[in-house]
Structure 1
Amino acid sequence: MESVWNSETNFRKREALNKNINCDILIIGSGIAGLLTAYMLNKNGKEVVVIDAKSTAGGVTRNTTAKITSQHDLIYDNLIKEFGEKGAQQYARANELAIRKYKEIIDNENIDCNFQYKDAYVYCLGNTQTLEDEYNAAKKLGIDAELVDEVNLPFKVKKALKFKNQAQFNPLEFLKPISEKLTIYENTTALDITEENSVVTEDGIEIKANKIVVATHYPFLNTPGYYFMKMHQERSYVIALENAQDVNGMYIGADKNSYSFRNYKNLLLLGGIAQRTGENEEGGAYDKLRKAAKEFYPNSIEKYHWSAQDCMTLDSIPYIGHYSSKTPDIYVETGFKKWGMTSSMAAAMIVSDMILENENDFSGIFSPERFDISASMKNAANDLIITAKNFISQRINIPDENLENIQRGHGGVVKYKDQKVGVYKDNDGNIYTVSTKCAHLGCELHWNADELTWDCPCHGSRYDYKGNWIQSPTNKSLVTI
């Protein structure tokens, strides 16, 4: 399983950091947010070092659908209600500016990354009122939007909201030349940040920095900041099809269980089936997309399939700025929902401006210090209920299923040697057993049948069937049994 971007682009391998160093600015995480921040600071003459626990652009960035758009579902009507017109305007401006900034960098660096201006649509099959409300909000904020009745999709829609002059590209082809000019250390896992602004790595190496940017998708430090109380993670799935339609735009649905569409070269990317991480024990997400593909495009051929993971904040706005009020020299870039391309560019612009002490007129809405649990109590309550449920099940729920009941090619939680363990049995009958206690904060892990992984429904940490960690917030592997 790999994305079309990953199949087309290889990055130069970098060495792991093997000695203590001092630097001006340290960026933890070499995804698109971290690399763009490093690029902007480097352009302004700053000494920047980037470290990554794995490989350059090797995480979430490789699994995006790569839409560069200020249209983020139906958000602007709600933003005006929650934060006023000024706050909503800041959000819109940051994302519209992000689109133009991509084009500026691509032109300045002469990057060939299949960048194309395309219109972005939200379509609906049922009640159109929320779409009309969003259109009115967009127009109030000065966004170039239009309501249309006809779109280039394989089914009839009631109405669609079009944002004009949005964009799409190949993110890895964009990042490859940018990364070449940066100092990057791979396979260098940050475990902690001391009060003296020293980052301690898994190998006991210390990196002292004047400024630190945590761009690890999900922050790996639990305190201060308490981001694990303010976010959960969701997974979504994509298949890339040959012999399908040119939809001439980027599409998402306003209705539940709708599909997304965009083209790349001769492929159509068909996405959807969003689920909270840890809620795919039975599998079948890709099968649902394949069934839709056969219905929409009977002659299509699947060439790639992959999945993505996104951090969801309580109010749907990213956390960009100071990590906490107690850490003036540590910054965070997280919570991009399903809009990592524009949000990453906005984050890079905001954080680089803060470090360079430049003024900008759109950072306020993104400040992590804006958080007011009373404004998002319903979402907070839902997250806390799910988290509590999975903490409790870790402690008291002993499964009845035995090891011999696990079929080949499947996994599950069983009672094994008088313990509750996670088991995967491969097609040859080999057995892999791990603790079902997440290495992050101890939640009960759930099996992901589509991807053969152990996923945490509380905060989104993921591990392969052998227990090796895949995705943050954890930076540790599981205990094997």
Structure 2
Amino acid sequence: MAGFNMPQKPEPIWRESVSLPSFPALKESIKADVAIVGGGITGITAAYLLTQQNLKVVLLDANQILNGTTGHTTAKITAQHGLIYDELLSHFGLEKASLYYKAAEEAKQFIEHTVKENSIKCDFRNEDAYIYTNSSSYLKKLDTEKKAYDKLKIKGKLSDNMPLDLPIKGSLVMYNQAQFHPLKYLKALLEEAIKNQLTVYENTIAADIEFNKKTSIVTSDGHRITCKYIIAASHFPFHDSRSFYFARMYPERSYLVAGKQNEKFAGGMYINAESPTRSIRSANIDGKDMLLFGGENHKTGQGKSTMSHYEALQKFAKEFFEVEEIEYRWSAQDLTTLDKVPYIGPATKDNRTYLTATGFRKWGMTNGTIAGKILTDYITGTENPYFDLFTPSRFHADPAVKKFMEINADVAKHMIKGKLEFTQNNIDKLERDDATLARIDGKRVGVYKDKDEAIHMVDTTCTHLGCEVKWNSGDRTWDCPCHGSRFSYTGEVMEGPAKKPLTRIKANN
């Protein structure tokens, strides 16, 4: 695309501006009161709170802490989760819709209080949040959502304009929301938890759980963490425990680009109501005023070339904003539950020691924070008003049954389609930094040629339930269109529910 310098490597804006500590891998079997799997906002918030209760807490991450979904966020701290409140009122009623809003507001207040209490320098700033539209058909939806705000006593206002100079036909503001630098904030929480005797292990894969007289996590190296409670805060629950989470959620990818701004930003945080999504916020990174543009979401492993989504966001940035150059690009994966409300609490009805938090639907800063609070309260025996709303064992016929059938019909379609997909065997014509599908000895093989012309080949059958993965050109990964597992071009697991890597095929086969 003329006039655009696309960053070669997908890297989130947050990581370069903060120095994160590193931790060893677990090399022996240990004991703890609570073992947390996943070093993102839920895991670190829970560790911060639990260690204040003098509990022995261990935090594990399969890779490096804060390198998953939390490290790839837009970092909006808001209860404005798109056009959601009229829908919640329709499906859940006034009481539960009100609890959902109050949970998000409590999460925002917790973050703000924690920042002040610990003097955390994380660029926390209160901002109003806007949903806007340039579509006449969405004006009525904004009006309906404002009526839901009124019923729930949410402070907001409908208008035909907003501070940002974009072509719009209407907007809905939610006042006094916030934004911050997520890694600076969570690094501070982690340091406080470590002062309270938190133990952290990186590059340690939680492979299974043993439910005997005592509950234990079994790592991929065969070590055990014996504990009273396990928290699965690993984005997708690492142990399904016959709960079929892969059939009760669907994965979506979204994209972000960031560039230095040349004009004063009007303030506020923005997201449009229609598709494709356009999300906008500002940030100051190492003294530079930056603008972040997000959106272009689609179901993982499906749709057009992923690089085209980055290009669409770049075009939007150049068309409407004075942005010098796009310096960062990255993507994120999010899970949405059947009824759009996260699953937080005991993973199953019959086992109260294995807890989970998942399905945050792109709003992880508030949902992840309140999850840490709910799970801490559960472990310490403290009553929490949001427990029943978020419990993973809930089931509501409307809209859950329809969405369940829709998700799994889509899975079946892509499982069959992948097996029949066209492949070609002319690998010699493959360009550098590109990939193709081939048949080798009758087996469907994914072939990637790197920038040094080395060939990397993997069996494309997903190790979760056997769907065929697709090439993600924007992030150089193999993505499963059925349940969202993602693998590096050499086959390593990057996102669950898959636990095992793709089988590597020797290039001389």
TM-score calculated relative to the size of structure 2: 0.91
The residue aligned with 1:41 is 50
Question: Alpha-carbon deviations, 1:285-337, whole Å to 9, x = none?
Answer: 11111111221125532121111111111111100011111211111000001
Q: How many residues align?
A: 481
The residue aligned with 1:174 is 185
The residue aligned with 1:77 is 86
Which runs of no fewer than 5 residues in structure 2 stay unpaired? 1-9
Question: Alpha-carbon deviations, 1:49-107, whole Å to 9, x = none?
Answer: 11111111121111000000000001110101100101101101100111100011111
The residue aligned with 2:296 is 273
- Following superposition of structure 1 onto structure 2, how do residues 212-227 of structure 1 map, counting pairs within 5 Å? 212-227=230-245
Query: How far 1:46 sits from its partner (Å)?
Result: 1.6
Answer with 229-238 or 146-155: which moved more.
146-155
Partners of 2:133 and 2:273 within 8 A in 1? yes
The residue aligned with 1:191 is 207
CA distance in 1, matches of 2:440, 2:255: 33
Letter matched to residue 47 of structure 1: K
- Following superposition of structure 1 onto structure 2, how do residues 67-466 of structure 1 map, counting pairs within 5 Å? 67-126=76-135, 127=137, 128-180=139-191, 181=194, 182-196=198-212, 197-245=215-263, 246-265=265-284, 266-279=289-302, 282-283=305-306, 284-297=308-321, 299-372=323-396, 375-397=399-421, 399-400=423-424, 402-466=426-490
Partners of 1:233 and 1:309 within 8 A in 2? yes
Query: How far 1:428 sits from its partner (Å)?
Result: 3.5
Aligned to 1:477, the other structure's residue is in SS state: coil
Aligned to 2:184, the other structure's residue is in SS state: helix
CA distance in 1, matches of 2:454, 2:397: 47
Q: Residues 244 and 376 from structure 1, CA distance in 2 versus in 1: closer, same or farther, beyond 3 angstroms?
A: farther
Question: Alpha-carbon deviations, 1:250-299, whole Å to 9, x = none?
Answer: 10110111311000020111111111110255231111111112211255
Answer with 205-214 or 463-472: which moved more.
463-472
CA distance in 1, matches of 2:348, 2:395: 11
Q: Residues 281 and 451 from structure 1, CA distance in 2 versus in 1: closer, same or farther, beyond 3 angstroms?
A: farther
Partners of 1:239 and 1:289 within 8 A in 2? yes
Partners of 1:26 and 1:212 within 8 A in 2? yes
Partners of 2:259 and 2:323 within 8 A in 1? no
CA distance in 2, matches of 1:154, 1:464: 40
Would you say 1:26 and 2:45 are equivalent positions? no
- Identity score, percent: 39
CA distance in 2, matches of 1:477, 1:325: 31
- Shift >6 Å, 4+ stretches: none
Query: How far 1:398 sits from its partner (Å)?
Result: 5.7
CA distance in 1, matches of 2:222, 2:429: 43
CA distance in 2, matches of 1:460, 1:329: 27
Letter matched to residue 255 of structure 1: E
TM-score calculated relative to the size of structure 1: 0.97
Over the residues paired in the alignment, what is the CA RMSD in angstroms? 1.6
Question: Alpha-carbon deviations, 1:393-430, whole Å to 9, x = none?
Answer: 45454624542353332112211233211111223432
Query: How far 1:462 sits from its partner (Å)?
Result: 0.8
Q: Residues 394 and 226 from structure 1, CA distance in 2 versus in 1: closer, same or farther, beyond 3 angstroms?
A: same
CA distance in 2, matches of 1:432, 1:384: 32
Query: How far 1:476 sits from its partner (Å)?
Result: 2.3
Query: How far 1:448 sits from its partner (Å)?
Result: 0.5
Question: Alpha-carbon deviations, 1:110-138, whole Å to 9, x = none?
Answer: 11100000000110111211111111111
CA distance in 2, matches of 1:83, 1:146: 24
